[in-house]
Structure 1
Amino acid sequence: MKKKKLGNSELEVSVLGLGCMSLGTDVDKARSIIDAALDEGINYFDTADLYDFGENEKIVGETLKGRRDKVVIATKAGNRWKQDKSGWTWDPSKEHVKNAVKDSLKRLQTDYIDLYQLHGGTIDDPIDETIEAFEELKSEGLIRYYGISSIRPNVVREYVDKSSLVSVMVQYSMLDRRPEEEILPLLKANGVSAVTRGPVAKGLLSEKMLEKASSEGYLDYSYDELERLLPLLKEKLGSRSLAEAALQYNLSHPAVASVVAGASSVEQIVQNAKAARANPLTDEEIAVIHELTKVNMYTQHR
């Protein structure tokens, strides 16, 4: 599996990462998926303290602890579960970030986190205070690098201008091209890597296509538009599967270091890895995708 450097860090991440949110709480099943990922050459594992009330971090930590030096572990903070676990509240404060990391380290059974990410963010947050927390955690050796997970261009711009973050996790796919206008060029110009999620657009860009479609459509696309577009994309891309084209579309952008995809089975890991190792899209294939799909813009997410 090919690896790329994450921003200006020393981290080399596989171009396909495992999004651990979909692992579930069956420990044996989760372990088999993580082991399969390692077998396929995946070294980048992305979790969060929010997932399954912290159980996800525990499973990831327990499974990877004997191979810690061979993997890049990324986790996130900023969301706090309510006491009754009925939901969560947003807290990007310095105090919370510095406390949350200690709990994550304990659950992950490690002395340090390779990439610590803010799990969201708005322009009204105390951004300077959050950056201060990350910088102190770096100097204390509890984290190696930090980034944010956000689809808000104004928030991303603030962190790029004010901090030494190395990555931004952003939703990106052929059906969600919003990052191409405001986020990806900014990251590329500043030596920050994009880590993308949602490459198959909730399964629409997979062999299941319309089986995964909502009657309300997806982002700027109505159901009727998807009904016309998806078979046409599949036809025009020829021998490639839609999932392969979807992964390679993300990787074709020079700002993208890794595509983080979830997997709920070993078979899915193998398929995703095969797609990540496929030949890059040609200029002609990218032109076809651009011709058929929309250049979406961020509206409410600012």
Structure 2
Amino acid sequence: MTRMAQVPKVTLAGGLEICRILNGMWQVSGAHGPVDHPKAVQAMQAYIDAGLTTFDMADIYGPAEEIFGHFNSQLKSKLSYDAAPALQGLTKWVPRPGPMDRKVVEKALQRSMDRMQVDSLDCVQFHWWNYSDNRYLHALGHLSDLQQDGLIRELALTNFDTQRLEEITNKGIRVSSNQVQYSLIDQRPAVKMEAVCLSHGIQLLTYGTLAGGLLSERYLGKAEPTSRVELNTASLSKYKKVIDGWGGWGLFQELLVLLGGVAQGHSCSIANVATRYILDRPAVAGVIVGCRLGVAGAEHIKDSLHSCSPELELTAQDLRTIDGVLQRSRDLMSLIGDCGDEYRN
């Protein structure tokens, strides 16, 4: 049974309509275990059937773009063009430092188009490793020109800080969104980023919102995971370190207990509450939920749908309860820096 009417949509600045819950494909990069390509392609159909038609990937996520391309091709061959559901593929370009002339940019985009089996790209989210090398402005200038040429629908950023976001905008380069880490634990975007985004009509796409699955009943009341066996994916290892900096496992357990109470009051899951909290934040267009395509028992489609249900509405008391714990945590802005600084320090 399809649930397409239940998935809220949002329109980005260039007119692309996407789901507010996006399917994240970092999990097929190889850092979360082996991937069976045919099974991964086949597993995408369940998301489409549920109305979750927006996929987020990158040129550096292993075979993510190819998996999307194979599914996209199969979908169009099975159905007539008019009957096929709209499928949105948001990718990232993560170049190594080097010359950023137009040919370099065009070659990168063509590679993604070939892999994704599309004639133009719905959205390119640009990442840059080193701000001291200002050739990111050259790359963005060419990307903006190629957007005008119709090669890109939405020009966006990923993991840019507030200072550079303002710099880029002040250069006259129009970006639709910035993809950043944002969760109950990591609320750095609320410090400066949100206000700048709201003033420029830029939206946020968030990842890490469920802390790799740590923000769930699975870890409620559990001993602190410390071994590689327990933290056996890139996500779990990464977000456990975020929790350590934020306030440690003891405070995290207090948060899970309170979230469990809020969730029980709304007949939903802890993940639903964690997701809805971020979806309701100013400037947030959508939350990216990782999908381990083709891994048995790892799909959470029904739960993801519940996160954006109109019946789930966090009350002022819910927010006060949650904020009571959050206020006792450490300031990640002073520990890590602004959004994306963890990739550059």
| Range class of TM-score, shorter chain | 0.7 to 0.9
How far is 1:48 from its partner?
0.7
In the TM superposition, 1:192-203 aligns within 5 A as: 192-203=202-213
Do the aligned residues in 2 keep the contact of 1:176 with 1:219 (CA within 8 Å)?
Answer: no
Residue aligning to 2:304: 272
Which residue identity does 1:126 align to in structure 2? R
In the TM superposition, 1:1-302 aligns within 5 A as: 1-6=7-12, 8-23=13-28, 25-52=35-62, 55-65=63-73, 66-67=75-76, 70-79=86-95, 89-90=96-97, 93-94=100-101, 95-124=103-132, 125-150=134-159, 152-162=161-171, 163-209=173-219, 214-215=225-226, 217-239=243-265, 240-264=268-292, 265=295, 267-277=299-309, 279-293=312-326, 294=329, 296-297=332-333, 299-301=336-338, 302=341
More displaced stretch, 175-184 vs 231-240: 231-240
Do the aligned residues in 2 keep the contact of 1:97 with 1:130 (CA within 8 Å)?
Answer: yes
Higher strand share: 1
State the structure with more CA Rg. 2
Q: Cα–Cα, structure 1 residues 121 and 286, in superposed 2: closer, same or farther, change >3 Å?
A: farther
Task: Provide the C-alpha distance between the structure 2 equivalents of 1:118 and 1:212, rounded to a whole number of angstroms.
Answer: 39
Which residue identity does 1:16 align to in structure 2? I
How far is 1:167 from its partner?
0.6
Task: Provide the C-alpha distance between the structure 2 equivalents of 1:254 and 1:285, rounded to a whole number of angstroms.
Answer: 18
Q: Cα–Cα, structure 1 residues 134 and 151, in superposed 2: closer, same or farther, change >3 Å?
A: closer
Task: Provide the C-alpha distance between the structure 1 equivalents of 2:72 and 2:256, rounded to a whole number of angstroms.
Answer: 38
Task: Provide the C-alpha distance between the structure 1 equivalents of 2:58 and 2:317, rounded to a whole number of angstroms.
Answer: 38
How far is 1:161 from its partner?
2.8
Which residue identity does 1:119 align to in structure 2? H
Do the aligned residues in 2 keep the contact of 1:173 with 1:250 (CA within 8 Å)?
Answer: yes
Which residue identity does 1:232 align to in structure 2? L
**Per-residue displacement from partner, 1:207-236 (whole Å, max 9, x unpaired)?**
222659555643322223223332233234
Task: Provide the C-alpha distance between the structure 2 equivalents of 1:165 and 1:121, rounded to a whole number of angstroms.
Answer: 18
Q: Cα–Cα, structure 1 residues 61 and 91, in superposed 2: closer, same or farther, change >3 Å?
A: farther
Do the aligned residues in 1 keep the contact of 2:254 with 2:325 (CA within 8 Å)?
Answer: no
Q: Cα–Cα, structure 1 residues 270 and 64, in superposed 2: closer, same or farther, change >3 Å?
A: farther
Identity of aligned residues (%): 27
Do the aligned residues in 1 keep the contact of 2:259 with 2:273 (CA within 8 Å)?
Answer: no
Give the SS at the match of 1:281.
coil
How far is 1:144 from its partner?
1.2
Q: Cα–Cα, structure 1 residues 271 and 223, in superposed 2: closer, same or farther, change >3 Å?
A: same
Q: Cα–Cα, structure 1 residues 204 and 114, in superposed 2: closer, same or farther, change >3 Å?
A: same
Q: Cα–Cα, structure 1 residues 212 and 101, in superposed 2: closer, same or farther, change >3 Å?
A: farther
Task: Provide the C-alpha distance between the structure 1 equivalents of 2:224 and 2:18, rounded to a whole number of angstroms.
Answer: 32
Task: Provide the C-alpha distance between the structure 2 equivalents of 1:286 and 1:248, rounded to a whole number of angstroms.
Answer: 11
More displaced stretch, 97-106 vs 218-227: 218-227
Give the SS at the match of 2:286.
strand
Which residue identity does 1:17 align to in structure 2? L
Task: Provide the C-alpha distance between the structure 1 equivalents of 2:289 and 2:115, rounded to a whole number of angstroms.
Answer: 22
**Per-residue displacement from partner, 1:234-278 (whole Å, max 9, x unpaired)?**
234433321000110111013111111111256322322232325
How far is 1:31 from its partner?
2.1
Q: Normalization by structure 1: what TM-score?
A: 0.86
Residue aligning to 2:229: none
Task: Provide the C-alpha distance between the structure 1 equivalents of 2:68 and 2:223, rounded to a whole number of angstroms.
Answer: 28
How far is 1:75 from its partner?
0.7
Give the SS at the match of 2:246.
coil
Residue aligning to 2:233: none
Q: Cα–Cα, structure 1 residues 275 and 130, in superposed 2: closer, same or farther, change >3 Å?
A: same
Aligned pairs, number: 290
Task: Provide the C-alpha distance between the structure 2 equivalents of 1:289 and 1:44, rounded to a whole number of angstroms.
Answer: 30
Task: Provide the C-alpha distance between the structure 2 equivalents of 1:29 and 1:121, rounded to a whole number of angstroms.
Answer: 33
Task: Provide the C-alpha distance between the structure 2 equivalents of 1:120 and 1:218, rounded to a whole number of angstroms.
Answer: 27
Which residue identity does 1:106 align to in structure 2? D
Which residue identity does 1:97 align to in structure 2? V
Which residue identity does 2:24 align to in structure 1? G
How far is 1:286 from its partner?
2.2
